[in-house]
């Protein structure tokens, strides 16, 4: 069997005002990734698969997101919002190239999977000219109803145009469709706008296909996969579904999640083997966790990599660009940002390490702070291999601490420290013999006089 070529048109031009947000709807996130990126990831990839995204006017941010996620995608602008069929035709130029299969998906339906796209395409290899993705809706209000004659799809009726009888149908249109690419333009061009909203409805393609003597079929999927997002409640529901899926996938891959329902993952989180994640951990986008690593409770990790057998937290925060080498450890109330922490290094308590390179086996004592920002610019701190930074030291960047160097507790280090040197920067200590006893007596006398 030779692979069929495909064009996927993703509609992302909707207004989404019910999100009550300045952010375009499809740029809202689920599991650390925009709704649109989820759909673009699921759409067919690789040789023979092309992609077009239809966006609204003045939606540069959406176009940027398309380019970021799929550099191979073309964008088309739908200048006026005249309906889903009208939106698809904004990509006419791409459709006219005549791929074998034309897939249409909505940018606000982020839970759709690559397998479902593949299942939808399968009937086109047989006789069907159109395959529609359907689902059984718990509450079908608002959705287009799939009207069947036996198991043949005869029409999709939008909720607003449906009769009371048709509204009882719970099999609904998910919005995702696959067309025979050679007939797609002919079908789309025949869609009119004679309905209650005066819009060009993509769903009318079904009746047109039937009139042309061709066949339309339904492929069913679960409601969870095709939840469309129009408001923040639905966004939260989609997040819950996605998190449940990601947790299950992590468990299936052998990750130990002590309390799965309390752990938040991102769609792109990568796990090695024998990773343990304790309760109440939040993992944002771009995180890789190596074999045997343990993430203790209440840690928050974004755009970072964690090496083999490394330990994180409890209460650690890894901000973008943090990397922990094999067996390295960051403990409670440690924050890292743009920091490479080499193998076996330890930062066990109460530290900020940002714009830094920490050499292998270095030990940063409690309260070590890299002072990386002067109010205008960020500067780098380099700590050598096996260096020992005493408790509560401030390392004022730019500064380099040599290999094996030793920094006395409480020092404010502003000058480079050579390899194996000891740097101590603090006032000499004075001990006054009997001073504490004399102080106490003086205060007790003063109190007795008052009383
Ligand atoms: C649509 C379907 C309905 C289906 C439901 C599933 C049509 C006519 N109706 O209804 O049968 O049950 O989805 O969620 O297709 N869009 C544009 N330009 C437009 C109009 C829409 O780009 O002019 C985009 C929107 O951004 C959105 C998608 O198309 O991503 C669907 O539009 P929406 O208004 O949400 O349609 P529904 O009323 O939900
Ligand atoms: Mg919708």
pLDDT tens across 310-366, in order? 999 999 999 999 999 999 999 999 999 999 999 999 999 999 999 999 999 999 999
- Of 223-227, 287-291, 326-330, 419-423, the poorest mean pLDDT is in 223-227
Binding residues for acetyl-CoA: 366, 372-373, 409, 426
Give the Cα separation of 346 and 329 in Å (integer): 5
Q: How far apart are the first and last CA of the chain?
A: 101
Binding residues for UDP-N-acetyl-alpha-D-glucosamine: 11-14, 25, 78, 83-84, 144, 158, 173, 230, 319, 337, 352, 363
Residue 405 φ then ψ, to 5°: -75, 160
Percent of the chain residues topping a pLDDT of 90: 94
Collapsing DSSP states into helix, strand and coil, what is residue 397? coil
Nearest to 178 by CA among 100, 92, 101: 101
pTM above 0.85, yes or no: yes
Task: Pick the ligand that lies closest to the CA of residue 25.
Answer: 1
Q: What atom in ligand 1 is closest to the CA of residue 200?
A: 8
DSSP symbols for 143-175: SPEEEEETTEEEEEE-GGG--HHHHT--EEEEE
pLDDT tens across 201-247, in order? 999 999 999 999 999 999 999 999 999 898 999 999 999 999 999 99
The torsion defined by the Cα of 19, 20, 26 and 32, in degrees rounded to 10, comes to -90
Q: Exposed/middle/buried for 255, CB within 10 Å: 0-12, 13-18, 19+?
A: buried
pLDDT tens across 436-445, in order? 999 999 999 9
Asked if 104 contacts 94 with a C-beta cutoff of 8 angstroms, the reply is: no
Asked if 129 contacts 186 with a C-beta cutoff of 8 angstroms, the reply is: no
Q: What atom in ligand 1 is closest to the CA of residue 144?
A: 11
Task: Provide the token pair at 317.
Answer: 């925060």
Q: Which residues contact 181 (CB under 8 A, 6 or more apart)?
A: 5, 6, 7, 95, 98, 99, 100, 101, 102
Residue 1, pLDDT above cutoff 60: no
pLDDT tens across 56-107, in order? 998 899 999 999 999 999 999 999 999 999 999 999 999 999 999 999 999 9
Residues 369-392, mean pLDDT to the nearest whole number: 98
Could you tell me where the beta strands, DSSP code E, fall in 78-198? Answer: 101-106, 130-136, 145-149, 152-157, 171-180
pLDDT tens across 19-39, in order? 899 899 999 999 999 999 999
- Of 149-153, 323-327, 411-415, the poorest mean pLDDT is in 149-153
pLDDT at site 3: 85
pLDDT at site 146: 98
pLDDT at site 323: 98
How much distance in Å is there from the Cα of 17 to the middle of ligand 1? 14
Protein residues whose CB sits closer than 6 Å to any atom of ligand 1: 11-14, 54, 78, 81-84, 86-87, 106-108, 143-144, 156, 158, 172-175, 201-203, 228
Which residue's CA lies nearest to atom 13 of ligand 1?
175
Q: What atom in ligand 1 is closest to the CA of residue 82?
A: 23
Give the Cα separation of 23 and 59 in Å (integer): 10
Could you tell me where the beta strands, DSSP code E, fall in 193-241? Answer: 216-221
pLDDT at site 16: 59
The torsion defined by the Cα of 17, 23, 28 and 34, in degrees rounded to 10, comes to 130
Give the Cα separation of 301 and 317 in Å (integer): 6
How much distance in Å is there from the Cα of 1 to the middle of ligand 2? 36
How much distance in Å is there from the Cα of 13 to the middle of ligand 1? 10
Residues 156-176, mean pLDDT to the nearest whole number: 96
Which residue's CA lies nearest to atom 8 of ligand 1?
201
Task: Pick the ligand that lies closest to the CA of residue 159.
Answer: 1
How much distance in Å is there from the Cα of 16 to the middle of ligand 2? 9
Q: What atom in ligand 1 is closest to the CA of residue 106?
A: 30
- What domains lie within the chain, and their CATH numbers? 7-226 (3.90.550.10), 245-423 (2.160.10.10)
Provide the residues around ligand 2 (an ion) whose CB is within 5 A: 228
pLDDT at site 58: 81
Nearest to 116 by CA among 160, 175, 162, 70: 175
Q: What atom in ligand 1 is closest to the CA of residue 228?
A: 14
Give the Cα separation of 42 and 269 in Å (integer): 16
pLDDT at site 110: 95
How much distance in Å is there from the Cα of 214 to the middle of ligand 1? 24
Beta bridge partners of 352: 335, 369
Asked if 31 contacts 242 with a C-beta cutoff of 8 angstroms, the reply is: yes
Give the Cα separation of 303 and 35 in Å (integer): 19
Beta bridge partners of 304: 322
The set of catalytic residues is 349
Average pLDDT of the chain, as a whole number: 96
Give the Cα separation of 112 and 175 in Å (integer): 11
| C-alpha distance from residue 22 to each of 15, 16, 28, 30, 238 (Å) | 10, 10, 10, 17, 20
Which residue's CA lies nearest to atom 22 of ligand 1?
13
How much distance in Å is there from the Cα of 112 to the middle of ligand 2? 14
Banded model confidence at residue 18, pLDDT cuts 50, 70, 90? confident
Task: Pick the ligand that lies closest to the CA of residue 144.
Answer: 1
pLDDT at site 59: 86
């Amino acid at each position: 069997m030779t692979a069929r070529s495909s064009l996927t048109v993703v509609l992302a031009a909707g207004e989404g005002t019910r999100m009550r947000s300045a952010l375009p709807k499809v740029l809202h996130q689920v599991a650390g990734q925009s709704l649109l990126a989820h759909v673009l990831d699921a759409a067919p990839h690789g040789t023979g698969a092309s992609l077009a995204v239809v966006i609204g006017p003045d939606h540069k941010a959406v176009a940027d997101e398309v380019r970021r996620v799929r550099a191979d995608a073309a964008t088309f602008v739908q200048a006026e919002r005249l309906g889903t069929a009208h939106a698809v035709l904004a990509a006419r130029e791409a459709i006219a190239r005549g791929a074998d299969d034309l897939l249409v998906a909505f940018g606000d339906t982020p839970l759709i999977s690559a397998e479902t796209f593949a299942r939808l395409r399968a009937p086109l290899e047989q006789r069907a000219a159109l395959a529609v993705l359907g689902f059984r809706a718990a509450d079908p209000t608002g959705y287009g109803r799939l009207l069947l004659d036996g198991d043949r799809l005869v029409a999709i009726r939008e909720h607003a145009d449906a009769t009371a009888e048709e509204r009882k149908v719970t099999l609904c249109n998910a919005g995702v469709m696959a067309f025979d690419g050679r007939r797609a333009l002919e079908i789309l061009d025949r869609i009119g706008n004679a309905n209650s909203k005066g819009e060009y409805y993509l769903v009318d393609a079904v009746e047109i296909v039937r009139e042309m003597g061709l066949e339309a079929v339904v492929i069913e999927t679960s409601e969870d996969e095709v939840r469309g997002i129009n408001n923040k409640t639905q966004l939260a529901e989609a997040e819950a579904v996605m998190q449940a899926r990601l947790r299950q996938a992590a468990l299936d891959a052998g990750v130990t999640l002590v309390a799965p329902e309390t752990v938040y993952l991102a769609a792109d989180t990568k796990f090695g083997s024998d990773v343990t994640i304790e309760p109440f951990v939040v993992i944002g986008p771009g995180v890789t966790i190596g074999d045997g690593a343990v993430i203790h409770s209440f840690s928050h990790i974004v755009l970072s990599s964690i090496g083999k057998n490394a330990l994180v937290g409890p209460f650690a925060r890894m901000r973008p660009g943090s990397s922990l080498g094999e067996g390295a450890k960051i403990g409670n109330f440690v924050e890292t940002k743009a920091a490479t922490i080499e193998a076996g290094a330890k930062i066990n308590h109460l530290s900020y390490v940002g714009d830094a390179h920490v050499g292998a086996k270095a030990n940063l004592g409690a309260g070590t702070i890299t002072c990386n920002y002067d109010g205008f610019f960020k500067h780098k701190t380099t700590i050598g291999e096996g260096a020992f930074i005493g408790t509560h030291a401030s390392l004022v960047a730019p500064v380099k601490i040599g290999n094996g160097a030793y920094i006395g507790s409480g020092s404010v280090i502003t000058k480079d420290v050579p390899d194996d040197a000891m740097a101590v920067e603090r006032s000499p200590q004075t001990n006054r013999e009997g001073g504490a006893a004399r102080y106490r007596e003086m205060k007790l006398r003063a109190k007795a006089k008052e009383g």
